[in-house]
Structure 1
Amino acid sequence: MPSNVEIKAIVSNHEEFAERAAQLSQSEGAIIRQRDTFFNCSQGRLKLRDFMDGTGQLIFYERPDTDGPKLSRYSISPTTDPSSLRTVLSDALGVKGEVRKKRLLFLVGQTRIHLDTVEDLGHYMELEVYRLRQTLQLMVAHNLMKQLGVSEENLVTGAYMDLILKGSNEA
């Protein structure tokens, strides 16, 4: 199963973070709109990512719910009919919840930098470091955290879905 190292954190200044990421990537980034539907499953997380253009991906992943850099193992299957796949999976497994976001994607070497505006949550960033040995992935992730001004106290555990469910349980 493929893997990457991930970091997720709250972004306090969206514009400043976008500027830093643009400088590092030497690009303005690409805007991607996503609707992730999470399904009930016995281990890990299963989500259907709908790109809102008739395409999507079914993604299964496992990663620890800790802050800081963490190893994520995943499997991805593309789909050209996310709507009907959502119906089948909803009927079979039940829906845990949904996350809607606007993602600004920057690429820096083997790393994807995501600046996400998540509906009902706010601004977050994710780093995903790919195709390097795990020790190198961790070094790259820590280095980019520093360059982007991401502080330890802003690190987040879990997935956006967990944060949304936590918020709805506290209301």
Structure 2
Amino acid sequence: MLSRVMPSNVEIKAKVSDLPHFSEMAAQLSQSEGTIIRQRDTFFNCSQGRLKLRDFMNGSGQLIFYERPDTDGPKLSRYSISPTNDPQSLRTVLSDALGIKGEVRKERRLFLVGQTRVHLDTVEGLGNYMELEVVMRPEQTVEEGQQVAEDLMEQLGVSKESLVTGAYMDLLLKGQEDA
């Protein structure tokens, strides 16, 4: 069997309390107004990592598998992605085979700052969050990626107290348990 290195990124997620301010800072750093992307992520039961189908609500989507630790602060995420032109039928097949863990609907504003994807997300049922995804270059160490993320976090005014662990799906499921 051929082994391959999965692409990786260093990711930080945090709650955003001042949406206009964060949006303005991200726009300045990226020198753009950002791109709006509507997404519906369906998470499926799987034995390791996370498997989600991202539907862009325009007839296209991506099946994404990823693994990363549930800790706050910068963390390494390894992933693989397969594009699809029929997210609905793929959702049906995966739902029948694995069962659905849950669904996350969000409007994402994407800004690009150097090698980092800055996401400003409004998540149904959760509120406003930001994600930094430092897309790692093959020669970069995890520590270098973490430094890029921490520097950008500082430039965007994101406090360590606002950091969150886990995926939006986890936060939604936890909210249902607490209710």
Q: TM-score range by the shorter chain?
A: over 0.9
Q: Which runs of 4+ in 1 moved over 6 A?
A: none
Q: Distance in 1 between matches of 2:148 and 2:28?
A: 17
1:21 aligns with 2:44: no
1:126 to 123, 131, 150: 131
| TM-score, structure 1 as length reference | 0.99
Give the C-alpha shift of residue 131 in structure 1: 2.9
Measured in 1, the distance between the counterparts of 2:135 and 2:172 equals: 27
Secondary structure of 1:102's partner? strand
- Any idea what the Cα deviations from partners look like across 1:28-54, whole Å, max 9, x if unmatched? 000000000000000000000000000
Check whether the contact 2:10–2:136 (CA below 8 A) recurs between aligned residues.
Answer: no
SS at match of 2:108: strand
Selected match of 1:40 from 36, 39, 45: 45
Hey, what's the Cα distance between the residues in 1 that align with 2:173 and 2:136? 32
State whether structure 2 residue 83 is matched by structure 1 residue 78: yes
Contact preservation (8 Å) 2:8, 2:78: yes
- Whole-Å separation in 2 of the counterparts to 1:19 and 1:60: 32
Residues in 1 aligned to 2:175 and 2:26: alpha-carbon distance in whole angstroms? 29
Q: Trace 1:1-171 onto structure 2 (pairs within 5 A).
A: 1-132=6-137, 133=140, 134-171=142-179
**Structure 2 unaligned regions, length at least 5:** 1-5
Q: Distance in 2 between matches of 1:77 and 1:18?
A: 30
Amino acid across the alignment from 1:37: T
**Amino acid aligned to 2:157:** G
**Cα distance in 2, alignment partners of residues 130 and 38 from structure 1:** 23
Amino acid at match of 2:167: A
Q: CA RMSD in A?
A: 0.5
Aligned to 2:3: none
Count of residues in correspondence between the two structures: 171
TM-score (norm 2): 0.95
> Deviation string for 1:97-148 (max 9, x for gaps)?
0000000000001000000000000000000001331222111100000000
Matched-pair contact (CA < 8 Å) for 2:42–2:103: yes
- Whole-Å separation in 2 of the counterparts to 1:131 and 1:158: 20
Percent identical residues: 78
For residues 70 and 60 of structure 1, what CA distance do their matches in structure 2 show?
Answer: 16
Residue type at the aligned position of 2:113: V
